[in-house]
Amino acid sequence: MMRTVWRELFAAEGADVGRVLQPLEQALGPADQPLPALRARQPELARQLLQLQLPAWQVCELISDHNDQIYRRAIDTALTGMREQGWGEPPVGFCVLVMGSGGRHESLLHPDQDNALILDDYLPERHTEIDSWFLTLAERFTAQLDDAGIPFCRGDVMASRPLWRKPISEWREQMRLWMGKRRVKWVQICNILFDFAPVYGDVRLAEQLRAAIVAQLPDAGLFLHEMGELFDEAPVALDRFDRLQGDGREAPHPDAINIKRQGLLPLTAALRLLTLKKSGVQVASRARLDELRQRGVISHDMAWRLTCAFEHLMALLLQAQLVEQGAGRVPDNWLDLRTLCDAELRLLQWDLQQVRAFQRHVRHLK
C-alpha cells in the first residue's frame, strides 16, 4: 500500500512530527552557511516541500522567501563591511525592493536580480556624498547575490544603476513622467517595477511609492492602453486554432515551449494591467485574482479558471526545472511537450486558452 509522507506521522506510538520534517530540516542546512551553499540547497528544498504535498505555487512562494533571506544576508554583510572600512552608518533611511517574479513571490529555480533602492529625501548639495554611499552598498550586495547564484540582471534592472536608485521624491516624479505618456520603453520598465515588494529597510518608503503609482492612475489612460498593446510581445503558446505552438525563439527543439514567457508571463501581465485599471494594490498573482473577485471585477468562475491555470502552469515549470537540475543541467523555462501524456497536453491547452481569453478581456476593458 502506498504511504504518503504525512502517514508517517502516526506510524509509531504517538505523533512524531520531527520524523516527518527531518528531511526538510536537512534540506535547509545550517542557518550560518555561506550564501552560495544556501542558494544551492533550493532544488532539494523544493523537492522536500513537494514531498510534504505542498502545491507548487506555495513551494515557489517559499523559494522566494528563501531568496529574500539571501538578499537580507547579502545586504547585512555589505553594511557590516562598509562600517568596518569607515563608511559609517547609512546617511539616510532606505528601502531595498525586489521586483518582477521575486516581488510577486513567484520565483522558481532560475531567478536573476531585479532590485531597486528608495532613499529618504536629502538636500541637493549632499547628492554626491549620499549617492556614492548607496552606490557602494548596491554594488556590494548585488555582487554578493551574483556570487551566491542569483545572477546579475542582463537588463541592468539593479540598484547599482542610477535609474533604479533614487530618493522617494524623484521616484514620485518618475511615476508622473512615465505614467503620463504613451512610451513603449517606459511601459516595459514599469511592467518590472510595479510588481515590487520591500525586502530590507524602511517599509514606509515602499508604501509611499505604491501610493504614488496609484495616485497617477486616473491620468494614465494612454499608458495603460500601451500596456495592453504590449501583450503581443509575448503571445500565449497557442496558434490561431488553439493548438499548442511555441514561438520558436531560442527553442532547444521543435517540441519545446517556453512556459514562462508564453504562459505565466502573459497571465501575470494581464493581471497587472487589470489590477492597475481598477486601482488594486495586490502584487502576487493569486492575491490579485482574489482581490479582483472580491471586488466583483471578475466573476467567481473566471477567478477559479485562472487560478487553476496559474497553479498548473507553475507546477509544470517547477517540475521541468527539477528534472533539468537532477540531470545536471541548469534549470531553464522550457517545457518539453514530449514528456506530457495526451490528457496533460489537453490540460495545458485548456490553461493557455484561459490565459488568452483573459488577455483579450482585459485588453478591451475600460
What tens digit of pLDDT does each residue of 172-187 get? 999 999 999 999 999 9
Residues 204 and 276 in one domain: no
Please indicate, yes or no, whether residues 207 and 256 belong to a single structural domain of this protein. no
Q: Indicate the residue among 185, 218, 251 that finishes a domain.
A: 218
pLDDT digits (tens, 9 = 90+) for 140-152: 999 999 999 999 9
Regarding whether 207 and 70 lie in a shared domain, the answer is: yes
In a domain, 228, yes or no: no
Say what percent of the chain tops pLDDT 90: 87
Domain co-membership, 190 together with 268 = no
Averaged pLDDT for residues 297-319: 98
- Is residue 129 situated within a structural domain? yes
C-beta atoms surrounding 11 within 10 Å: 11
Decide: helix, strand or coil at residue 197: strand
* 102 shares its domain with 133: yes
Residues 69 and 212 in one domain: yes
With cut-offs at 50, 70 and 90, classify the pLDDT of residue 130.
Answer: very high
Please say whether the beta carbons of 354 and 270 come within 8 A. no
Output the average pLDDT for the chain: 94
pLDDT at 11 over 70: no
The pLDDT tens digits for 16-44 are 677 778 888 888 888 889 999 999 999 99
pTM of the shown model: 0.94
256: pLDDT confidence band, cut at 50, 70 and 90? very high
Residue with cell 502516526: 10
Domain shared by 312 and 199, yes or no? no
Domain count, the chain: 2
In a domain, 6, yes or no: no
Task: For residues 213 and 2, give the distance between their C-alpha atoms in angstroms, rounded to a whole number.
Answer: 52
Domain range for 299: 234-366
Distance, in Å, from the CA atom of 188 to the CA atom of 192, rounded to the nearest integer, reads: 7
Residue 4 lies in a domain: no
199 and 323 in a single domain? The answer is no
Query: Has residue 233 got a pLDDT over 90?
Result: no
Q: Are residues 20 and 143 in the same domain?
A: yes
What CATH number does the domain containing 42 carry?
A: 3.30.460.10
